[in-house]
Amino acid sequence: FSLSEVARHTDSRNGVWTTYEDGVYDLTDFIEQHPGGKRMIMLAAGSRLDPYWNIHDFHKREDIVKILSEFRIGSLMKEEIKASTLLNLDDPYSTDPKRHPALTVFCNKPFLAEPPLGLLGHSLITPTEVFYIRNHMPVPLINKDGYKLEISAKGVSTKLTFEDLIQFKKRIVVATLQCAGNRCNEMAAVNREDFVDVGGGPATISTAQWGGVLLRDVLESVGITDSVVEREGYKHVRLEGLDQDLSGTKYEVSIPIHIAMSPTGDVMLAYEMNGKELPRDHGYPVRCLVPGVAGARSVKWLGRVSLSKQKSQSMWQQTAYKGVPPCANQKTVDLQAAEDINELPVTSVICHPEEGETLLREEEEVTISGYAWSGGGRGIVRVDVSLDGGKTWNTASLDGVKQPYGKAWAWSLWELTAPLPAHGDRMEIICKAVDSSFNVQPDTVAPIYNYRGYLCNAWHRVNVTLGEKPL
């Protein structure tokens, strides 16, 4: 096929065609199933898919390329292939910041990485350099001196500079952020062909001390009070970042108005992280911090806050970060009708020992440690640990910052020292947490499986070997 012929297929009537490398693909029957939404995939209708997959590099995974291959209808003419390759755009990620080499990287473009699991159990505050990173697009280059935050409501917009923001009363909040896809590798292990998440282990979660100003204070300063919210019928606050794709579409999600305006919710416009200005990867110069809620709602590089009667219409709100049942797949699910993921369920993870580690019998005992956290400000009241695959249980000791009931935004660390078994050469260690509403983790992944890999909070299991000290 020629590029001009591909360009004539841009709608469902004529067919939606695209090219990738040397192939031509008819995506007409797939556009409604696209996990990222119809609008995003239509950007490549009649043209090249390559530039968009360069923005979202995880598409180049073998399983996703295999899905694309099912829609191949032919190849570009040889002379067209050369012309097509000349159109390659400069790498939009070339100005991304350097990252710490200790991070485990799941995707480079956009960047998704987590710290080594062993680091998380050592400190209530995660070092900034190894705080997990989940970006959706290239990191924008922003000059703090020229930064302006737009606040929009009632058809009126107000723009605040960085200097304007720091005039408000400064607040300090210790809060854990967790990716909705934390532990999604455990769902991937179910090995269903419909699984499509970008990847992630049990460490896409971290805790920091955040400094900034309350969103409620800023909104009230421009006349947006509780009475105005009620009178105007506002239900949602839309949060738009300054990160964008090739089409100029910016990352945007929304949160319920009662979360944003809660006097006790601590929703913050943060400009400090662990006592220093925000790093670029974490939203410099200003990000929204929404404690107790999936990390996707804590929009980085915040550029616009607007009040609305409807949720954000962005792809990220309408088709991503949705809770779906185990029976759902790309072909059957109605993502727009599915519930948004906001507060996250109780979870816990063993940080030490790690999977496959060998414990020496001569030590006679083992110290098991990890983290536990629950969304919605629910604190951790107990962590139970088993050394025999769940037959018997012991209660771990808890360590954490003092937090008022209903405002437990930060995780708890836990630890248990127990004797090693006298017999056998293998152990299955399990942990499960209980939060202040007495929610408990499910024992397996099967009943909570979903093809996007979200909300994995099954009992965490680690298999270790018992061995002898080498002579």
Cβ atoms of 174 and 208 closer than 8 Å: yes
Q: How many CA atoms lie within 13 A of 357 on its CB side?
A: 16
One of 20, 147, 251, 321 is an active-site residue; which one? 321
Give Dmax over CA atoms of the chain in angstroms.
Answer: 78
E-strand ranges in 353-447 read 358-360, 365-373, 380-386, 394-395, 397-399, 412-419, 426-435
Instruction: Report the alpha-carbon distance of residue 86 to residue 181 in Å, rounded.
Output: 37
Known catalytic residue at 456: no
Residue type at 317 in one-letter notation: Q
Cβ atoms of 462 and 429 closer than 8 Å: yes
One of 56, 134, 282, 378 is an active-site residue; which one? 134
- Name the token pair of 424: 């056998």
Q: Quick one: which of 409, 154, 370, 394 has its CA closest to 270? A: 409
Known catalytic residue at 59: yes
* 233: DSSP letter: T
Cβ atoms of 15 and 28 closer than 8 Å: yes
Known catalytic residue at 179: yes
Environment class of 259 (CB within 10 Å of its CB; exposed 0-12, middle 13-18, buried 19+): buried
Known catalytic residue at 449: no
Known catalytic residue at 72: no
One of 9, 59, 136, 297 is an active-site residue; which one? 59
Which residues are part of the catalytic machinery? 34, 59, 134, 179, 321
